[in-house]
Chain A
Amino acid sequence: MAADIALQRVAGARGRGGAVGDFLFHHLTFLFALLVLLILGGVIVALVEGALPALRTFGIGFLFSDVWNPVTEKFGALAPIYGTLVTSAIAMLVGIPVAFGVAVFITEICPIWLKRPLATMIELLAAIPSIIYGIWGLFVFAPFVQQYIQPNLIDSLGQIPGFGALFAGPPLGIGVLTAGFILAIMVLPFISSIMRDVFETVPAILKESAYGLGATRSEVVRQIVLPYTRIGVVGGIMLGLGRALGETMAVTFVLGHAHRISISILQPGTTISASLANEFTEAVGDLYLSSLIALGFILFVITFIVLAIAKLMLLRLQRRAGG
């Protein structure tokens, strides 16, 4: 009924010069959309052009070499690529379960009066600038990790033969694990707020019916809520992953910036974005600068692949769900 009235109103507007407005509106929006494409294309062209000298010099080996030596001008991207993927993986490993728990608590279990303040606070986490996370990470969180978490990890998990290599070495405070933790905190609000939004779209009648059949809360979440919302959940996770991959400032502070690949996640490493932030300003020499731009291009490609996989997964899920 309301829709009918709205339609009538639009039709009325049309009668008075609506055609011109429509024409303008149509072309203006098209122009904006085109602008986005142009900017994206421009960025790609600029990155490829800037990266060409490095790619021409090192060839495909650029991707598989972990040497990063500004003195001899030998560069390889393997260490930053590895660091980017590992820190993001840790962030996802820690962040997803927590975000999921938060979202379930807020939508299913939380008393009404606590719901709004809690949700707002979690969303406020997303509003903290990443440089603040970096400084907090360096001065507050890293000492905590160094004193309490890392010694325990080294003494317990670090003693397991084989697997223990992941937790070997002195407790330095900063390193891959700390960076992963910080990233987990940073992506948490993104993932949890999307999960919460989609959880709330589950029709009450479905949940009520399940409860009526005697299902427990965890059964309802696992068998009603999750299947109903999986597309949104995957979307939220991918959004978080995208942020973790590209996050720069916070990681730069707590990662220790070493162009080395260590098996132990307690050791320093580097990511693509941290390398750029650390080295771009003082990079003298064409090949050095070009290698850094090539790193930027690789990050672009990685992010693109992640988004593409996310889209494909969503498509497949949609098809399987028959939607």
Chain B
Amino acid sequence: MNVFRTALLGLTASAVIGFGALAAEISGAGATFPYPIYAKWAEAYAAKTGLKMNYQSIGSGGGIKQITSKTVDFGASDMPLKPADLEKDGLTQFPMVMGGVVPVINVPGITAGQLKLDGNVLADIYLGKITKWNDPAIAALNSGLKLPDLAIAPVYRSDGSGTTFIFTHYLSEVSPEWKDKVGENTSVQFPSGIGGKGNEGVSAMASRTVGAIGYVEYAYAKQNKLTYALLRNKDGEFVSPAGSAFGAAAANADWSKTQDFYLLLTNQPGKESWPITGATFILLHKQQTRPEVAREVINFFDWAYLNGGKLADDLDYVPMPENVVKLVEQSWQQIKGPDGKAVWTGRSS
């Protein structure tokens, strides 16, 4: 009873403080994929500066809606907006943190990292064209590996997700037929296979259906020790999914030529680059009515770029490479207050 009353008191007190300190709080909404790391950063940042960050992980679509209607200070999306769409709503975007998508398999006798795949084979499997694990196309990539005469059951994300977007974007990049027939989006009409809800749904389906193949976020595959496959990258090398491989993809990408950071990190050059890498994005209004809030928002993300790497690593996210951070900081100059001056003029400390 006492514990209960204390908890209640604490709750009331924090609610009161929360209202009192409205200025010391920034709010954002959007993608679910980066939610764990944003929450971690917010916690560390609040401990250091006292500024609270309130992030609602309602999904990218919701995030875009909320930032467009200005009900939050920033939006977050797994799918970058096209420059034309940004222009229309007066937004700017920048990549915040990266992750990778990993194919996981369930084939008897094959352990993690043994099976080699390339983009075309992966696309043909999900198109329903390759239906057996001992198909010549798979065997050609895996000389020496004994492949069973077993039907392939492709598993996909049933819910709309940035993971599906990155995955289908990669398949569109490497397979013209995929691009033509299915395309890329947070959810697409998969020609074959079965859907699982969330990363856990896909991995549950994949781990118990013999012959299944699925795709999940890297952090999820790693923490649950799923049987992943190697992928051939643009340079023709087979790579295994790891933080360094995602970092390589981002570092080798040519960000400077892109407009509004509209760049997807799939199929990037480089010997070590993991081919299905993706970044998640932050959306801000270019024209700010409350410059002091915008400054706090940018300060937070700048702090995260500078000091958040360790926390990101712990959760198996990949921090943005330094050259990208430099470009992002330059891009912040276009965020202006009512007086027409840039709200953020560089690191304060």
Contacts and interface: CB of A to CB of B under 8 A. Distances in A.
Given A70-B187, A173-B209, A282 B151 contact: no
A67 B189 CA distance: 8
B337 interface: no
Contacts of B64: 284
B158 A252 contact: yes
A281 B59 contact: yes
Nearest to B78: A282
B158 A281 contact: no
B233 interface: no
A172 B201 CA distance: 13
B160 A143 contact: no
B188 A279 contact: no
A170 B192 CA distance: 13
Which 6 A-B pairs give the minimum distances between C-beta atoms?
A: A281-B59, A282-B160, A257-B158, A71-B183, A257-B195, A282-B186
> DSSP class of A's interface residues: helix, strand, loop or mixed?
loop
A283 B163 CA distance: 14
B186 A70 contact: yes
A281 B58 contact: yes
Contact of A283 (B32, B160, B196): B160
Interface in A153-190: 170, 172-175
Given A258-B190, A268-B195, A284-B64, A278 B159 contact: yes
A282 B183 contact: no
A143 B182 CA distance: 30
A201 interface: no
B208 interface: yes
Contacts of B158: 252, 256-257, 274, 278
Contacts of A69: 183, 188-189
B189 A282 contact: no
B78 to A, nearest CB: 8
B201 A281 contact: no
> DSSP class of B's interface residues: helix, strand, loop or mixed?
loop
Which among A258, A279, A281 has the greatest number of chain B C-beta atoms within 10 A? A281
Interface of B: 32, 58-62, 64, 79, 151, 153, 158-162, 182-190, 193-197, 201, 204-205, 208-209
Nearest to B62: A281
Interface residues of A, number: 32
A99 to B, nearest CB: 28
Which among B151, B158, B190, B205 has the greatest number of chain A C-beta atoms within 10 A? B158
A185 to B, nearest CB: 19
B151 A170 contact: yes
A258 B195 contact: yes
Contact of B201 (A70, A72, A138, A146): A138
B61 A281 contact: yes
A133 interface: no
Given A257-B158, A279-B160, A284-B60, A252 B209 contact: no
Contacts of A196: none
B159 A281 contact: yes
A18 B158 CA distance: 60
B201 A278 contact: no
A283 B188 CA distance: 11
B226 to A, nearest CB: 16
Contacts of A252: 158, 197
Contact of A284 (B79, B159, B195, B197): B79
Contacts of A71: 182-185, 188-189
A281 B65 CA distance: 11
B205 A284 contact: no
Given A252-B158, A279-B160, A282-B59, A146 B208 contact: yes
A253 interface: yes
B197 A278 contact: yes
Given A70-B185, A279-B187, A282-B61, A172 B153 contact: yes
A146 B182 CA distance: 29
Contacts of A170: 151, 153
Contacts of A148: none
